[in-house]
Amino acid sequence: MIIEDFGPEYGEYQGKKTLFRCPLDFQGEYVVKKGTERIGSSAFVWSEKLTSVVLPDSLSEIGVTAFYGCESLKHIAIPQNVNRIFHDAFQHCDFESIVVDPKNEWLTSRSKKCNAIIIKKESGDDNYKAGDLILGCKNTIIPAGVKRIFIKAFYCSSIKEVHIPKSVRVIRLNAFALCKDLETVTFEEGVREIESAAFVGCESLKSLYIPASVKKLGNDGFTDNAFGYCSGLTSIEVSPDNPVYDSRNNCNAIIETEKDKLVSACKNTIIPEGIKIIGKHAFAGCRISSISIPQSVTTIEEYAFQDCDFETFVWPAQVTSINNYMFANCNKLKSLIIPEGVIRFKQTAFWDCPELVTIELPSTLTEIPNFSITPVALGSLDKLQSIIVPPGTKDRFAEIFSQTENEDAIPFIKEKQ
């Protein structure tokens, strides 16, 4: 339903006067008409030349991805009657200041220095709880009293320094994801959980100290690593008083103590003897070019070495299975040696490794998945020169490749001399 006196971009949705869409290619300051109660989903999406927006006091809701990608929008003022801000409403907006009207009953920005939106009073949205910081920016100072840093609260922000006060209990999924300028993060004792990928892609982060209060990192089924793709990370330390995690022997890693499982690593990590499991995404994006894996390791989970800079990798013989996406996007990998004892590798183990020149396979290998050594799986076969197999096994491997839709790889099979 179009509201004629408001103009074609306005209408009614669920009984509320709604701005559905900002005019395409709008430039400068946009003043939302008085009486508007709702900013619709994607109303300003990718309005890259929008420099300012004035929201009326009548406004109560801001929809999903309403201001997504408004990269020139540096300041936002939330009026007194807004009580619902849906997810990703301001994603990819690199704000310099955020202010909530002090008369607002549901939301607050605490003080001028805070520069964030914090839930003051729950409004029926089950996702948000009082004390949640739901949106931050490059100049945010997280105030005492905040209980959770919400999903994507600082996503892609250019914030450089973060101090997490002791009131914060949980840092949620992707809270600081892709904050590429983030150099320093400090945690006061009090943080209990840092969810998966909370700091993924913070490539300027140099060091990390995990306090004794942290009892859970990741563990949502997708990844155990809250700090993947922090390619600049060189130092990791866990408080010696932490009962769940440790960084034994100055290994520059986070280890889940009870399971002897390495869950987060960096470019200076040394895997200690006694580690049994290397977790999902543990080294992902570390850009390491070599690593020594001790005999104690018997399991290496999916994505463990994704986006690393290996040129040659000798798989540890005691780990008999190579999981999916193990070397995904390892674009410098030229030589992969799979020793005797390994019995299988998963279909996407070598996903997008287009620089592979040689692959050495063992006689113990009994499972080769369909389409696993193809141009699609590896990204290309242009550089592949040889698939080396034990003496007397060329015909056997050719038959296996034929039966598993890997015919393109058959011409590269060569017996080891």
pLDDT of 125: 65
CATH number where 382 lies: 3.40.50
Query: Which of 159, 192, 217 is the last residue in one of the domains?
Result: 159
pLDDT of 93: 95
Range 276-298 average pLDDT: 96
Residues 295 and 321 in one domain: no
pLDDT tens digits, 192-217: 999 999 999 999 999 999 999 999 99
Range 86-103 average pLDDT: 96
Residues 9 and 153 in one domain: yes
Report whether pLDDT(126) > 80.
no
Report whether pLDDT(252) > 60.
yes
Residues 304 and 329 in one domain: no
Residues 241 and 342 in one domain: no
Q: Across-strand partners of 77?
A: 99
Residues 1 and 149 in one domain: yes
Range 8-36 average pLDDT: 90
Residues 343 and 329 in one domain: yes
Residues 286 and 412 in one domain: no
Residues 107 and 215 in one domain: no
Helix, strand or coil, per DSSP, at residue 402: helix
CA-based radius of gyration for the chain: 26
CATH number where 115 lies: 3.80.10.10
pLDDT of 158: 96
Q: What is the pTM of this model?
A: 0.92
pLDDT of 1: 40
331 lies in which domain range? 310-417
Residues 288 and 319 in one domain: no
Q: Quick one: pLDDT band at residue 376, thresholds 50, 70, 90? A: confident
Query: Which of 261, 278, 308 is the last residue in one of the domains?
Result: 308
Residue 18 domain flag: yes
Which of 44, 53, 138, 150 has the alpha carbon at shortest distance from 95? 138
Angstrom distance (rounded) from CA 408 to CA 375: 8
Angstrom distance (rounded) from CA 288 to CA 40: 45
